[in-house]
Structure 1
Amino acid sequence: MSNVNEQTAFNADDLMLDDLELESFDSDTAPTAAADTMAERDLSFFRKIPVTVTLEVSSTELSLGELMKAGEGSVIELDKLNGEPLDVKVNGSLMGHAEVVVINDKYGMRLIDVLESPLDSIGD
């Protein structure tokens, strides 16, 4: 069995700082083209991450007992009115509201409004 309590000592000689390039941190310095390119490249990486978009019709809360009584043909009242915009969620978080459309016999959604998000400023 190995000794788990062994500690490795930090040795400053192991650091290779010769190739480290430090930029000036003056507040007057404008961002360089290289920094702009880096930000654009980083953004393109995030644009490829898959997310799940869900159009939620409505919901309700009921007790487990009420749910167990439900059977074929039972009607459960939901909390939205007919014609109200539906919730658009991205990975479970509310993104905005939409209405259902049918395109080539498939359901789709037309966005009515999109909520403010910290991600809106990315790419500006």
Structure 2
Amino acid sequence: MSTASETATFSGDDLNFDDFQLEDFDTPALSQPAAMPERDLSFFKKIPVTVTLEVASKEIALGDLMKAGEGSVIELDKLNGEPLDVKVNGSLMGHAEVVVVNDKYGLRLIDVVDSALAGVGQ
């Protein structure tokens, strides 16, 4: 009995690439993932949010605010005629100016912050 183990070896001459079908080789092995079905976002359109038009603000010490009384003036950080901040649930959405519509105040959007509504409705 022989205790020697046989080792299988091959050379490059043993490989025959003519047997492979490579006509589709240029197409990527992983194609684009299947498109996700478009989701119905109409549910989200019914969720109430709070829209706030912020005229201006000012950070002051509590002691100074406690000294303020009727007729006191607190200077704010915006200039006259400067666009006002529009916030949705406290986050900046864009800028607007005040308008009057049917004896009620309204706002006319001047610009919308790029990230404010990114992805909504797509």
What TM-score results when the alignment is normalised by the length of structure 2? 0.69
> Cα distance 1:65–1:120, how it changes in 2: closer, same or farther (>3 A)?
same
RMSD: 1.7
Task: Name which of 76, 79, 90 aligns with 2:77.
Answer: 79
Which one-letter code corresponds to 1:115 in the other structure?
A: V
| Structure 1 partner of 2:88 | 90
- Aligned partner (choices 63, 66, 82) of residue 65 of structure 1: 63
Indicate which of 109, 113, 116 corresponds to 1:115.
113
Q: Which structure has greater helix proportion?
A: 1
Query: Per-residue deviation at 1:48?
Result: 1.0
Alignment-derived partner of residue 44 in structure 2? 46
The equivalent of 2:35 in structure 1 is 31
Distance in 1 (CA, whole Å) between partners of 2:106 and 2:93 is 16
Aligned with 2:43: secondary structure?
Answer: helix
Q: State the alpha-carbon separation in 2 of the partners of residues 98 and 53 from structure 1.
A: 12
What is the Cα deviation at residue 120 of structure 1?
Answer: 2.7
Tell which structure's C-alpha radius of gyration is larger: 2
Q: Secondary structure at the match of 1:120?
A: coil
Change (3 A) 1:97 1:105: same
Residues 1:115 and 1:62: Cα distance change in structure 2 (over 3 Å): same
Compared with structure 1, are the counterparts of its residues 74 and 84 closer, same or farther at alpha carbon in structure 2 (3 Å cutoff)? same
Describe the SS at the equivalent of 1:121.
Answer: coil
Identity %: 74
TM-score (norm 1): 0.68
1:55-108: per-residue Cα shift (whole Å, max 9, x none)? 000000111110010000000000000000000000000000000000111000
Deviations 1:33-73 (A, max 9, x none): xx22xx0x2x1111111100000000001111100100000
Question: 3-state SS of the aligned residue for 2:75?
Answer: coil
